[in-house]
Amino acid sequence: MTAEISRDPWTTLDELWGIEVTASELDEGIGELAFYGRCSTEDNQDPETSHGWQMGNARKFVEPLGGRVVADFFDIGQSRSVPWERRPESARLLAALKDPRRTWSAVVVGEGTRCWFGNQFSLIAPRFAAYGVDLWVPELGGKFDPRNPSHKMLMSVLGGMSESERQHVQARVRAAMDAQVLNEGRHQGGRTPFGYEVVDGGPHPNPRKAAEGFRLRVLALDEELAPVVRRIFDEYLEGNGDRAIAAGLNRDGIPCPSARRPDQNRHRLADGWQGSTVRAILENPRYTGYAYLAAGRSTRCWPIRMTCRRGT
């Protein structure tokens, strides 16, 4: 005889797995909850808007079930790959679990993939369970049940999706930066190489950013410092070592990079040229006329003719 299948798929799964849900649990309502959300970057996302839609999703999820959000934990400028213990607001949430005076007994999120990355959920969920705090996740359609294998499987899949999404975003951003350096000669930020200066490259090609006043940044030769770089390469080709070149520059009273630009070299002592400073200049491919972009631990270079990168 075919059993009657409930219209609620989660109820059907509970029955198949032998998980009982009492009527009292459904009648009493969820009660008071804490909300957790995350916004990765202030520059590319509006924290207020991001908080608003995540909080809205959470409330739409729990309020029909008698839930009331009474505490707010929202991380701004934190990558999803950062462990919960190292995010300010999630760390505060974990600390609040131990507080016997807290009024909430459950936590709800606006979107699970924004909160957990990789295997983070499997590391965090037992800590909530230890303090009797339920986790309500919209992608599950209800609260997480550690006894339900389908819940564990789905949260594992969500963690993998979150990790995959981050990797795709990184790949797209790096590919776009590669193209901007190669085709447009943009300066992508960071310390300006000694002997160059950042100049205005005209209006930003993105109409929205141009309307907001953003300008392109490109590198051009610093006519005052370029001869110093030429001298370093000339002396190296004559057979002088790094320390000998640095000693000669110090002897002639030529300011070192950290003395010349203390604003972008605050971690340096500005105490004169060092052999390592000379070596860094000699090994920098930008001085050979290559477009240069360092992405993570890798370095990408392209041999192209660009007037802002030649002449030293």
Q: Please identify which residue in the block is written with the tokens 């609040």.
A: 96
Q: Which helix (H) or strand (E) holds 210?
A: helix 207-211
Task: Report the range of poorest mean pLDDT among 17-26, 118-127, 160-169, 207-216.
Answer: 17-26
Determine the pLDDT at residue 140. 87
Would you place residue 55 in the very low, low, confident or very high pLDDT band (cuts 50, 70, 90)? Answer: very high
Mean pLDDT of 24-39: 79
Domain at 9-165, CATH class = alpha beta
Gap between the Cα atoms of 97 and 191, Å rounded: 43
For all residues of the chain together, what is the average pLDDT? 78
Q: Please identify which residue in the block is written with the tokens 């729990």.
A: 62
Gap between the Cα atoms of 74 and 87, Å rounded: 10
Q: Please identify which residue in the block is written with the tokens 């320390």.
A: 243
Would you place residue 243 in the very low, low, confident or very high pLDDT band (cuts 50, 70, 90)? Answer: very high
Tokens (6 digits) for 141: 């359609």
Determine the pLDDT at residue 298. 40
Strongest mean pLDDT among 21-35, 175-189, 267-281: 267-281
pTM of the complete model: 0.55
Would you place residue 62 in the very low, low, confident or very high pLDDT band (cuts 50, 70, 90)? Answer: very high
Would you place residue 178 in the very low, low, confident or very high pLDDT band (cuts 50, 70, 90)? Answer: low
**Percent over 70 (pLDDT), the chain:** 69
Domain at 188-309, CATH class = alpha beta
- Flag whether pLDDT at 27 surpasses 60: no
Q: Please identify which residue in the block is written with the tokens 């839930």.
A: 67
- Residue pLDDT, tens place only, 106-147: 999 998 888 888 888 888 999 999 999 999 999 888 899 988
pLDDT greater at residue 170 or residue 215: 215
Q: Are 292 and 181 in contact (CB under 8 A)?
A: yes
Mean pLDDT of 22-40: 76
Domain residue ranges of the chain, discontinuous segments joined by +: 9-165, 188-309
Determine the pLDDT at residue 177. 60
Mean pLDDT of 193-222: 76
Cβ-Cβ contacts under 8 Å for 167 (sequence gap 6 or more): none
